[in-house]
Chain A
């Protein structure tokens, strides 16, 4: 572990800008400006919007007025049972999908790093290829493979006596998870693999002399050494889970078992476009953002030691 963090920082005196104090600001200006315009201001607008509501009266043909309603939209969103259920659904999904994907990705990365594999470039390419298929297209593709009358997979299963319904209420969540695992395992594998490749080989040699097996070295030394990479990929997978949208939205076209508010993000989209209540949708989006933040902080806390080390590196 020490190997990853210890850096000869002492010798790095940094320019404090004396003489030309504006130089560093000039360097960061483009990013900061774009950041303010395209990230901060939309967030402010979303939060602002969530505090208002469009109100009509009578039959409504007299037009609408915009009224300040405080936290009413938040109260409505939080009392919408289907919206809350959608959080539970993605939590269940994430508890299964993220570990499974991380396990496959880490196993593949360790195998590729272990020199046990011939034709490594081909296998890595195969694992990466799904990531090259844009998410919406991947969902379309799997959509074909999930429909019994047109799917070669289901027909193959059926010929060996397995009657699979991949779009049933109980299975469709895992069919969505499969699309995500298929799409994103490769990129996570690559990030972990790259981290593994950066570890000096000599470290393993020492362990090997002590008689440690390959498996032991992989689990006991390699994995802990790439803990920050694992954390990074896990965290972004969790964030991705909470924001699940494209895959279920596309698969919704082939099954009624994905409701319009199946995931929090879909519920937001439905409130905005089908329910035509953008203010409510803003409140729901803010709730989702806060939830994402909370989950992320919890995950980071759980990995406190690792993060500390990672931030030492900063």
Chain B
């Protein structure tokens, strides 16, 4: 429904003109933010983001930089989709926080600006994989902001009660699932949420696979490739034997199951432990964190994806916007706040060196939990490539997985369907796809 064609915009402008004639539009003249800096006038930057504590960092910046004043809008739920509608209509903010999975789409649709000239020098402060996630065709389209290395949070009390060691490989994990469920039919080793795509993709990355790849001038699609099939077979076994629950993460139902000990382990990204601590406060001290289980013969870990701050197409002062983004994500001033208040796992060298990263967590029995995530980040293979229709692929996969959980399909069939949908959609856009 979004309006993007230039002709349509012209038509709308014509109508707007007609409207203005009546005088009703008199009350509506307002300039978008980000107008060029006249002498002495500060540049104004609109920034939308969701990381906790950004308000304070923005205030700090505004104090220190009278020339570039940033106004912050906290995004909730549906705002992600709003950004695109706003950018396409020419009413978007200057800067926005974005999942890097969606970045290729933004680049192709021309919704983000190339900021290579402003941020190229920052490269040395970022991990190679995070920098790669904002680079397309040799140009830089954003400043990385956090990544999502995975590890497994587990209930020490429950595993101890049934004499089960935290598994180190997926094979052991499946065995442990059986043992646990046999010992107590009300306890499940994990929850398989058909809609929580990050928990799926972190294992795809661990298996050195990727939904997308680039082959010369063509995209490749690997939604059902060998690595995905390996993961699919594992969860098919767990599902078929009734060893996992299948609730949606983020629902009261899910948190009820976590709180009452129905779910014994959660494997997810580095930002998850603080949410777990918030939502299951009564279980404090009963959790610990271990590396995620490994595939046979590999030390690989996985990552569910990171974010970046990008300069949107409508920004009139991309330089000023990029300067702020560069400070926000990479400066020594901000690392501690991003880690402790924001709950981010840093993608920066100075962030990884920050002492804030290595604090002990009471909820996790005094463990320095980020030691596990640091190791996970080091063991994550750089095989994942983001592609142009991540939204379509993700929707196709989650819709198909819902049918798997209901027993109407197998994971392998679901992946084949999602693969076909993803490829067809790329072709509809006129993009090259090679098999």
Genuine A/B complex:
yes
Is the pair A57, B11 in contact by a Cβ cutoff of 8 Å?
Answer: no
> Which of A14-22, A177-185, A275-283 forms part of the interface with chain B?
A275-283
Complex-state Cα separation, A286 to B185, whole angstroms: 51
Q: How far is the CB of A55 from chain B (nearest CB, A)?
A: 4
> Which of A106-114, A147-155, A214-222, A228-236 forms part of the interface with chain B?
A147-155
Q: Which of B22, B250, B252 contacts A33 (CB 8 A)?
A: B22
Does any Cβ of A come within 8 Å of B8's Cβ?
yes
> Which of A44-52, A90-98, A127-135 forms part of the interface with chain B?
A44-52
Complex-state Cα separation, A55 to B431, whole angstroms: 8
Is the pair B405, A281 in contact by a Cβ cutoff of 8 Å?
Answer: no
**1/0 per position for A11-51, CB-CB distance to B under 8 A?**
00000000000000000000001000100010011101100
Nearest A-chain residue to B194, judged by Cβ? A256
Is the pair B398, A147 in contact by a Cβ cutoff of 8 Å?
Answer: no
Q: How far is the CB of B287 from chain A (nearest CB, A)?
A: 20
> Which of B143-151, B201-209, B212-220 forms part of the interface with chain A?
B212-220
What's the A-B contact tally at a CB cutoff of 8 Å? 151
Q: How far is the CB of A39 from chain B (nearest CB, A)?
A: 12
Query: A41 — which chain B residues lie within 8 A by C-beta?
Result: 11-12, 15
Which residues of B55-69 have CB atoms within 8 Å of chain A's CB atoms?
none
Query: B104 — which chain A residues lie within 8 A by C-beta?
Result: 60
Query: A268 — which chain B residues lie within 8 A by C-beta?
Result: 1
Query: B110 — which chain A residues lie within 8 A by C-beta?
Result: 63-64
Query: A64 — which chain B residues lie within 8 A by C-beta?
Result: 108-110
Query: B218 — which chain A residues lie within 8 A by C-beta?
Result: 58-59
Q: Which of A256, A270, A285 contacts B193 (CB 8 A)?
A: A256
Does any Cβ of B come within 8 Å of A122's Cβ?
no
Complex-state Cα separation, A272 to B395, whole angstroms: 12
Is the pair A255, B432 in contact by a Cβ cutoff of 8 Å?
Answer: no
Is the pair B253, A254 in contact by a Cβ cutoff of 8 Å?
Answer: yes
Known: A64-B110, A254-B248. A48 touches B11 (CB 8 A): yes
Is the pair A276, B3 in contact by a Cβ cutoff of 8 Å?
Answer: no
**1/0 per position for A52-76, CB-CB distance to B under 8 A?**
1111111111011010000000001
Q: How far is the CB of B262 from chain A (nearest CB, A)?
A: 8
Complex-state Cα separation, A149 to B19, whole angstroms: 54
Complex-state Cα separation, A60 to B6, whole angstroms: 19
Complex-state Cα separation, A276 to B81, whole angstroms: 9
Nearest A-chain residue to B400, judged by Cβ? A259
Is the pair A278, B391 in contact by a Cβ cutoff of 8 Å?
Answer: no
Is the pair A49, B136 in contact by a Cβ cutoff of 8 Å?
Answer: no
Is the pair A275, B392 in contact by a Cβ cutoff of 8 Å?
Answer: yes
Known: A259-B402, A275-B425. A60 touches B431 (CB 8 A): yes
Nearest A-chain residue to B430, judged by Cβ? A55
Does any Cβ of A come within 8 Å of B39's Cβ?
no
Complex-state Cα separation, A313 to B250, whole angstroms: 54
Does any Cβ of A come within 8 Å of B330's Cβ?
no
Query: B113 — which chain A residues lie within 8 A by C-beta?
Result: none
Is the pair A49, B8 in contact by a Cβ cutoff of 8 Å?
Answer: yes
Query: A149 — which chain B residues lie within 8 A by C-beta?
Result: 252-253, 256-257, 260
Is the pair A57, B431 in contact by a Cβ cutoff of 8 Å?
Answer: yes
Q: How far is the CB of B293 from chain A (nearest CB, A)?
A: 24
Known: A61-B108, A149-B260, A275-B391. A48 touches B8 (CB 8 A): yes
Complex-state Cα separation, A76 to B399, whole angstroms: 19
Is the pair B399, A260 in contact by a Cβ cutoff of 8 Å?
Answer: yes
Complex-state Cα separation, A276 to B11, whole angstroms: 22
Complex-state Cα separation, A279 to B2, whole angstroms: 7
Is the pair A49, B108 in contact by a Cβ cutoff of 8 Å?
Answer: no
Nearest A-chain residue to B4, judged by Cβ? A278
Is the pair B248, A60 in contact by a Cβ cutoff of 8 Å?
Answer: no
Query: A3 — which chain B residues lie within 8 A by C-beta?
Result: none
Complex-state Cα separation, A37 to B16, whole angstroms: 8
Query: B256 — which chain A residues lie within 8 A by C-beta?
Result: 147, 149-150
Is the pair B399, A276 in contact by a Cβ cutoff of 8 Å?
Answer: no
Is the pair B432, A49 in contact by a Cβ cutoff of 8 Å?
Answer: no
Does any Cβ of A come within 8 Å of B394's Cβ?
yes
* A-B CB contact pairs (8 Å), 17 listed: A37-B19, A54-B4, A56-B108, A57-B430, A58-B431, A59-B217, A59-B388, A61-B108, A63-B110, A82-B399, A150-B253, A256-B246, A256-B248, A260-B398, A260-B399, A269-B1, A273-B391
Other than the given A254-B248, A257-B406, 12 more pairs (CB < 8 A) read A48-B8, A53-B428, A54-B429, A57-B432, A58-B431, A58-B432, A63-B108, A256-B401, A269-B1, A277-B425, A278-B4, A279-B4
| 5 A-B pairs closest in CB distance | A278-B2, A149-B256, A147-B253, A256-B402, A60-B108
